[in-house]
Structure 1
Amino acid sequence: MPQHPDILILGSGAAALTTALEALTCPLPPNTARPRVRLLEKAPEPWAGGNGYFTAGAYRVAHAGLADILPLVSNVPAELAGKVDLEAYTEGQFLGDLERVTGGRSEERLGRVVVGESLGLVRWLREVGGVDWEMSFRRQAFEVEGRWRFWGGLCLSVAGGGGKGLIKALLGAVRAAGGVVEFGVKGEELVVGEGGRVEGVVVRREGSQEREVLRAGSVVLCAGGFEANPELRRRFLAEGWERAHTRGTPYNTGDMILAAQKVGAKLVGDFSSGGCHSTAWDYDSPADGGDREKTNEFTKSGYPLGIMVNAEGERFVDEGIDLRNYTYAKFGRAILEQPGGVAWQIWGKEGQKWLRAEEYRDEIVRKTWATSVEELADKLGEDGLKNKKALFQTLNDFDRAVAAHRKEHPDTQLNPAVKDGLSTQSTSKKLPLAKSNWALPVTEQPLLAVKVTSGITFTFAGLAIDPENSAVLREDGSRIEGLYCAGEMVGGLFYGNYPGGSGLTAGGVFGRRAAQSALKDLSAKNKASRL
């Protein structure tokens, strides 16, 4: 590989690999040489894939229903297709969900590009990237009366272990197309030439104290956010965020966000206590980085069918306010804000039936079982619960409210695939903090509790880009020539929350646009050299 590539990409996650694959495979004018593409990853090779490796590999796309999805997937034979209920998920619905869950703060231009190119992206990833799509029956559908009902605007994930399968496919495709990936190379500064154009990166290789300059025709930043940097979390988000567990790679420490800011890039997005994707996460998980084998299995997303209580024995969120896809990325913050940053998820006998084995099987999580509320309070008291009396009151009040609602609304039935209206609020009994849907008894024995904390996935604040070309922008709105950005480093799209699966989609869409822009730069340079 020549010393100076045409396109230099920082990162090896899904956004970086998608950028590289687009640059290496998209149609070029006749007699045009393929660009030299080089990816630099700070992590060692066993940590390839960034945060994408740790995901469930879910992509949110706008589609017209099964007619759009079935040609993409490999796990739906004809006899099963007739038992699947998948409503169309329109571009308007996708945009509406993005606006709703971010409180109207998402930059509309960014959102429209992501939504408009979402279906085309997953088709391209299948055809060019070799990604094996499947319908996500285990995570995104419930079997109700013999039919599989998909919910929450999300149906596609990657076969082969989700993120593991995604990174394996993309990394293999990039290498097969001629891309070079180097590991253990940390970007430290951007090199700026005459006129303010970025011309390369100052790097340091693992185990070396020497810095070297790598020149490039264009630089694309796909190096992740600052979620693995406790100091930057405390600085940019709020005091206390240093206690959150890092769900994914420990190498996303915000280095290139700061490097871009140093050369004039504008920082935008959610610099607030809620400015990140954070979930209910196993309390006993590693604190400073994810597990490469268990990856996403530390997620504890079964709370909609149960309740969550803090160390004072009190509920603190409406666990059924919306479908899980629209609440899980913000409830990690709610847990972190509780005393000690911990909580317990609790289910009665009926709710336990709906827990996914990949998150709640005995091998993956420590469970507390009890045959009565008193026994559960005693056991949790040994595990950090401070107010056993309050827990007793919370659980019994909750079940009385559930019973009152069912008595008043006997025809309302549990359906976890829709907001079913099975609530704690009736004319005879109302809780100060409602559970709006999927309200099931929690004192029916055996009782089950699981201790959780906050797991931070990625940060929402980052660099301002032009959505048309993924160019990094300055404070005055002008573009920094030669510098592009995609993935979790992009700011302005998500605020406080996000629709599940939209992060990978956004990374892919803006990565492809960044690659196309870098190719135009290269074409313009070659044309000028011939004149």
Structure 2
Amino acid sequence: MVSFDCIIVGSGHAGSCAALSAVEHGCQSVLIIDKCPEEWVGGNSYFTAGAHRTVHGGLYDLLPIIKNTPSQEAIDLIDMTPYTKEDYVSDLMRLTAGKSDPSLVNALVDNSRETVQWLADRAGIPFVFSFNRQAYEVDGRQKFWGGMVLGVEDGGKGLIAAHQRALKEAGVVVWFDTPALSISVREGAIAGIVVLREGREVELETRAVVLAAGGFEASAELRAKHLGGSWDKAKVRGTPYNTGDGFAIAQAVGAKLTGDWSGCHSTTWDANASASAGKRDLTNQFTKSGYPLGIMVNAIGERFVDEGEDYRNYTYAKFGRAILHQPGGFAFQIWDSQVAGYLRQEEYGDDVVEKIFAVDLQELAEKIADNGLWGKEPFIKTIMEFNDAAQQCARESPDLRWDPAVKDGLSTQSRRTQLVLPKSNWALPLDQPPYIAVKVACGITFTFGGLAIDANSAGVVSESGRVIEGLFCIGEMVGGLFYNNYPGGSGLTAGAVFGRKAGRGAAGLMTLQIN
């Protein structure tokens, strides 16, 4: 029987971190298996922007790990507020309505800064300041907003490429086209795993199995079962191979399910994108996150969310869901010429998305009616009422100044006029043509329900409440961390934090075996 010190199920960011950590802490033979073919390496991590949310002390704290180090002249023009532990915990608990497991939250937050340093040093992750996603140029200064400043060069592609180089250097073996079928247990501890290898079942011996196989978001059947019937129509943003297999094999050995099984991370996604999987050349570019700069209307011409409720990286995970539940499951994002230059080119470039242009509102209504709008007159009425409300707020509060990098207070609410559904910040009237519209849908990223784990070790907790010796769970398979919503950039950081813990725990079993 072939034996490994540690076997990891899943080739994404979390699984790669676990493998590198296992080698670092003493495992001599580490295997990663993935049911996908090699060309789909990286799971959902490949499709991200590489955002990592971390506690930090400001600009000079993070400069040493940044690859795109600006010149001193440019550094002097950067505004980056420190992001404290209290900020991180507050944001996470606020967005999840206080439901997140405090032990998981504290483990994530307390280890975040050390972990991004480890990623840079050990895995060679090419971190960059996320100017293109998390900063706006205001009065000649780059102003970061929303607590999240770190990205990765070339996004998820660059993240996984760096991991693949580090894994090869560390001597980690990777088998693709190798689904996990079951886990073997002996005397209450992990003894091995059965996989399908080149058409036949093979039992591999190991004392440590790390589950990093993603959620069930790519299974329309499981989405409908757990999230609700309409979710079978959501567009899969990433890999088509995350179909919930890991949960089934974990439950078979007594693992406890926990967390928000009716919740998921979704986002505003290109309505013309494929429904079944992301595109590996465009990856995250199908995201359409410019809605705080304008408004979104549904098929009957009505707004349905407060586009300025909060910074984009605190709202996109729930606004995708809101779009799915609109008539027809789509919406239109609308802007005028005042903000067109602030739309990110990687998401809204002419070679990325179909844009609709119009010289007046009547023409805009006609054109988007050709793309699915059901009610032209209600649509025009919605914009006129929005414009009136935004103009009245500006008249009553002349000291307020539009600033996309802060919550500027420019809203649709004033003493004279209050919309039933406000826009709480960044409410500029749409009155300077040409107008731009983009059709969007709901893209599902990952599901929130998962396995119960011990926050200190990432060990899987059984139905009886004990930790199953040798079984670990990380990444999107972890339950109890995110509920209903989440702060952007937390997913990759959590994958790395708990991946390191799992690798260390796997190596610790080897020490026990020797003793």
With normalisation by structure 1, the TM-score equals 0.95
1:8-47 correspondence runs (5 A): 8-26=7-25, 28=26, 34-47=27-40
The secondary structure found in structure 1 opposite 2:342 is coil
Deviations 1:220-241 (A, max 9, x none): 0001011111111111111110
Whole-angstrom CA distance in 1 between matches of 2:61 and 2:191: 42
**Residue 188 (structure 1) shift:** 1.8
Whole-angstrom CA distance in 2 between matches of 1:502 and 1:476: 30
Deviations 1:370-404 (A, max 9, x none): 11111111111111111111101101111111111
Deviations 1:273-313 (A, max 9, x none): xx110000000011100100000000000000000010110
The secondary structure found in structure 1 opposite 2:446 is strand
- Aligned equivalent of 2:224, options 217, 223, 234: 234
Deviations 1:57-107 (A, max 9, x none): 010000111121111112222221111111110001100000000000010
Task: Indicate conservation of the 8 Å contact 2:237/2:444, yes or no.
Answer: yes
| 1:221 aligned partner | 211
- Aligned equivalent of 1:201, options 193, 198, 219: 193
| 1:444 aligned partner | 432
Deviations 1:159-188 (A, max 9, x none): 1x1111111111110111110011110112
Please say if 1:479 is aligned against 2:467: yes
| 2:258 aligned partner | 268
Deviations 1:476-529 (A, max 9, x none): 2111111001100000000011000000000000000001111111110121xx
Whole-angstrom CA distance in 2 between matches of 1:516 and 1:21: 10
Question: After TM superposition, where is structure 1 displaced by more than 4 Å over at least 4 residues in a row?
Answer: none
1:398-437 correspondence runs (5 A): 398-437=386-425
Letter in structure 2 aligned against 1:235: K
1:506-517 correspondence runs (5 A): 506-517=494-505
Whole-angstrom CA distance in 2 between matches of 1:285 and 1:79: 41
Whole-angstrom CA distance in 1 between matches of 2:463 and 2:365: 54
| 1:31 aligned partner | none
Please say if 1:496 is aligned against 2:484: yes
The secondary structure found in structure 1 opposite 2:423 is coil
Moved more, 65-74 or 282-291: 65-74
| 2:276 aligned partner | 288
The secondary structure found in structure 1 opposite 2:440 is strand
Task: Indicate conservation of the 8 Å contact 1:280/1:455, yes or no.
Answer: yes
Whole-angstrom CA distance in 2 between matches of 1:399 and 1:297: 30
Task: Indicate conservation of the 8 Å contact 1:351/1:440, yes or no.
Answer: no
**Residue 341 (structure 1) shift:** 0.8
Whole-angstrom CA distance in 2 between matches of 1:455 and 1:336: 9
Whole-angstrom CA distance in 1 between matches of 2:455 and 2:334: 43
- Aligned equivalent of 1:186, options 173, 179, 191: 179
Whole-angstrom CA distance in 2 between matches of 1:408 and 1:495: 38
1:18-417 correspondence runs (5 A): 18-26=17-25, 28=26, 34-75=27-68, 76-159=70-153, 161-193=154-186, 195-205=187-197, 208=199, 210-272=200-262, 275-417=263-405
Output the aligned Cα RMSD.
1.1
Unaligned runs of 5+ in 1: 29-33
Deviations 1:114-172 (A, max 9, x none): 0001010111111111111111111010111111111101001111x111111111111
Whole-angstrom CA distance in 2 between matches of 1:353 and 1:431: 27
Task: Indicate conservation of the 8 Å contact 1:308/1:343, yes or no.
Answer: yes
Letter in structure 1 aligned against 2:158: G
Whole-angstrom CA distance in 1 between matches of 2:73 and 2:337: 33
**Residue 419 (structure 1) shift:** 0.5
Whole-angstrom CA distance in 2 between matches of 1:501 and 1:480: 30
Deviations 1:397-446 (A, max 9, x none): 11111111111111111111110001011111111100000001224211
Task: Indicate conservation of the 8 Å contact 2:119/2:125, yes or no.
Answer: yes
The secondary structure found in structure 1 opposite 2:221 is helix
With normalisation by structure 2, the TM-score equals 0.98
Moved more, 131-140 or 70-79: 70-79
Task: Indicate conservation of the 8 Å contact 2:298/2:327, yes or no.
Answer: yes
Task: Indicate conservation of the 8 Å contact 2:189/2:207, yes or no.
Answer: no
**Residue 189 (structure 1) shift:** 1.5
Whole-angstrom CA distance in 2 between matches of 1:495 and 1:412: 34
**Residue 205 (structure 1) shift:** 3.2
Letter in structure 1 aligned against 2:204: L
Whole-angstrom CA distance in 2 between matches of 1:498 and 1:314: 26
Whole-angstrom CA distance in 1 between matches of 2:195 and 2:493: 29
Letter in structure 1 aligned against 2:361: V
Task: Indicate conservation of the 8 Å contact 1:335/1:342, yes or no.
Answer: yes
**Residue 326 (structure 1) shift:** 0.4
Task: Indicate conservation of the 8 Å contact 2:411/2:427, yes or no.
Answer: yes
Deviations 1:29-49 (A, max 9, x none): xxxxx4200000111001101
Letter in structure 1 aligned against 2:122: V
Unaligned runs of 5+ in 2: none
Whole-angstrom CA distance in 2 between matches of 1:202 and 1:172: 27
Percent of paired sites with the same residue: 52
